[in-house]
Structure 1
């Protein structure tokens, strides 16, 4: 097994187990068993659990934002794309393995006790905000920054609410609030 395959198997196992059970509930031996990669190779590639968690979050960030961007780009109306974010969230919330925001979950478990994980979480949130700012700007809002920040708060709130309640409709409520914000900002 080459390095790329080992890394892929380890990160796939880490993502599945950490997202479903939580970071602290999953030990390195469980990841080794789920991945089929030797413990020696696991520690060669990821010398600590913190390094593995950070790598898992960074990879998840790329995939999560990529899926969101692909969905939103398919929306024919540039003006409606900021709202399409919430449509995508509602679909995600309805998936059987939805467990909330992996980044908020990891931060909640590890907090500032893990600077590398905290930085990965902050980087993810900053990239999402940058993306939302671009969508709001393209939709014609003269000052997109504050509106994008409000949309980010609505999105995180919807994600957390859906995870806690199991109700995908939180995305619809957030979408309704986002529509009011966008309308007011464009006026």
Structure 2
């Protein structure tokens, strides 16, 4: 076989093999999975490094501290969440009531998944004490944004008291995530979510 053919065959074989993820990416992906499944406080650096197939030295070369990793995890969860939100309501631009209903129906669909452990940032809020640390700031900023988005949708729907409706919807949204952890989806309180959303909308739009 000529050198050119050998080289081409080697390149073709190499193209079939997926590139190995960088150590930092492996640590981050592993941490995201462990944090969501077991909680932030329950998962230490040793566990993350071991599960990622590396060691603490590599961990600290990739992240200055566990808190830095947690902040990055929460930031990614926040980005993913708002991408999901925009996808749920985007096709219904101009019909705010339909957007609200679509958003909550999308939440039902997510919560009904067997591996759903609720809202990652909401779970972090339960675990993290109130304070001015970076983790708490990310969580509070995220929750403020969710609240404002719901209030804006309520205003667009011409609710009599948009702020009150937005806050009531927020309570339903938060409650649905946490209820999922304690009750089965099929015959648990989640079954009442969409009727409750529609009843709230009707009450705030009645003249």
1:65 and 2:110 equivalent? Answer: no
- Deviation of residue 93 (structure 1)? 0.8
The CA distance in 1 between the partners of 2:25 and 2:157, in whole Å, is 38
CA RMSD across the alignment: 2.5
Report the Cα distance in structure 1 between the residues aligned to 2:82 and 2:38, rounded to whole angstroms.
Answer: 22
Give the corresponding residue for 1:120: 138
Corresponding position of 1:177: 196
Q: 2 CA distance for matches of 1:174 and 1:152? A: 12
Cα shift at 1:159: 0.9
Once the two structures are overlaid, the 10-residue window that deviates more, 88-97 or 26-35, is 26-35
Q: Does 1:23 align with 2:32?
A: no
Could you tell me the TM-score, scaled by structure 2's length? 0.77
Give, in whole Å, the separation in 1 of the partners of 2:185 and 2:114.
12
Gaps of 5+ in 1: none
Match of 1:80 among 98, 109, 117: 98
Does 2:180 match 1:162? yes
1:93 aligns with 2:111: yes
Q: 1:48 to 1:154 in 2, by over 3 A?
A: same
1:42 aligns with 59
Aligned length: 184
**Contact in 1 for aligned 2:96/2:154 (Cα 8 Å):** no
Query: Contact (CA 8 Å) 1:50, 1:117: kept in 2 or not?
Result: yes
Residue-by-residue CA offset, 1:15-39 (whole Å, 9 max, x unaligned): 1110001112211122223345653
Secondary structure of 1:25's aligned partner: coil
Identify which of 105, 111, 133 aligns with 2:123. 105
Q: 1:135 corresponds to which residue?
A: 153
When the two structures are superposed, what TM-score results if normalisation uses the length of structure 1?
Answer: 0.84
Question: Alpha-carbon deviation of 1:43?
Answer: 1.8
Larger Rg: 2
